[in-house]
Structure 1
Amino acid sequence: MRGTVFALVGAALLAACASPPPAPEPVPEPAPPVAEETPKFKNSTLKYLANRNLKPQPTRPLNVRSRCSHSDAIGTVTRLNLLVKEAEVKSFDAQVSMKGRGSCNFNMKDFAQDAKLPQVLLRHKQESNCTVRMWEQEHKVTIAFNSCPKSCEGKAFEYLWPVVVDARNGRCH
């Protein structure tokens, strides 16, 4: 009997030293479905664009021909002679006269073509900061002038806006 008691006491001591069986791991609950929320925009322009079906403009060589003149309501007169074939500028001559401000003149002989895609880029031969960029959006070709005050009289460059041409019919806007 005494041996049995020692055996029971030894078994109890061994049981006390043994680790308890591991507790079952909790099963993670599935996350509740999150309703897609319309993003909040800080900028009103982005807010306006958020609900539009906008698609990226395809990158393709620019092709446009224009020999036009345009006069707007405030007296700005634009004259343009432009020919671009497969993104290669063949001719470019633009004069923009702003009533009471002066005029700006851009001619291909003063520029070298630096890029064809994704935009046509002309760089002035003497003033490397002066560039002219051309790109198409839908049926409109934009011709933008950057850092070219020496191509203008006085402070006329400060009032110079891009020239927009309808690629379908060559009209200036």
Structure 2
Amino acid sequence: MRYALAAAGCAVLLASCSFSSLPSAPIAYHPIDLDGHCAQTDVDGFREQATLKVRDNWVQALSWRLWVGQRGSCHFELSEFRQTRTRPQIELRARDGSACELMIWQEPGRVTLAHANCEQYCTPGIYQEAWPVMFDPHAGICAAATRRAG
């Protein structure tokens, strides 16, 4: 009985919801166009070297290496991936059939290149500390680092 009352209460609550606060028009879409090169080293020894060229959300060049101090590195090359998506974010999947995925998206002030499920592209034991790289969308250089020291 208690579950029936709870279900009925939820149904009434959902029926009374107003969706008038939803936007009436879709969010504006702006394609990513970037000629980016980022090479930097943090004081704690983390460093990255990345080249990323994107035209109208199509990746034309990508080479990315990041180092986790002296313990190892991760390395990604465009030839090892195929682009599977252009919107709302760019996605590239590993050609080797693994679950490794690279994602690129733009926010105000930066274009981010991130990875997911890509342990095999890194030295064993460092993947959890392998952070994304961020580019300034206007200058194409490294954007301000937001990685927290671990």
Q: Contact between 1:83 and 1:91, CA under 8 Å: does it hold in 2?
A: yes
Q: Are 2:38 and 1:68 aligned? A: yes
From 108, 114, 123, the counterpart of 1:144: 114
1:161 shift after superposition = 0.9
Q: Measure the CA separation in 2 of the matches of 1:93 and 1:109.
A: 9
- Paired residues, what number? 118
Bigger Cα displacement from structure 2, 114-123 vs 60-69: 60-69
Task: Give, in angstroms, the shift of residue 128 of structure 1.
Answer: 3.3
SS in 1 for 2:30: coil
Q: Does 2:110 match 1:135?
A: no
Q: Partner letter of residue 113 of structure 1?
A: Q
**Alignment partner of 1:158 is 2:128:** yes
C-alpha deviation, 1:60, in angstroms: 2.1
The SS at the match of 2:102 is strand
Decide which of 101, 108, 116 is 2:78's aligned counterpart: 108
Taking structure 2 as the reference length, the TM-score comes to 0.74
**Residues 64 and 57 from structure 1, CA distance in 2 versus in 1: closer, same or farther, beyond 3 angstroms?**
farther
Structure 2 alignment gaps of length 5 or more: 1-25, 146-150
Of structures 1 and 2, the one scoring higher in RCO (CA 8 A, sep 6+) is: 2
Go from structure 1 to structure 2 and tell me whether the alpha carbon gap of 1:127 and 1:151 turns closer, same or farther (over 3 Å shift). Answer: farther
CA-based RMSD: 1.5
Which aligned segments of 4 or more residues in structure 1 are displaced greater than 4 angstroms?
none
> What are the ranges of 5 or more consecutive residues in structure 1 without an aligned counterpart?
1-55
Displacement after TM superposition at 1:77 (Å)? 1.1
Which structure would you say has the larger Rg?
1
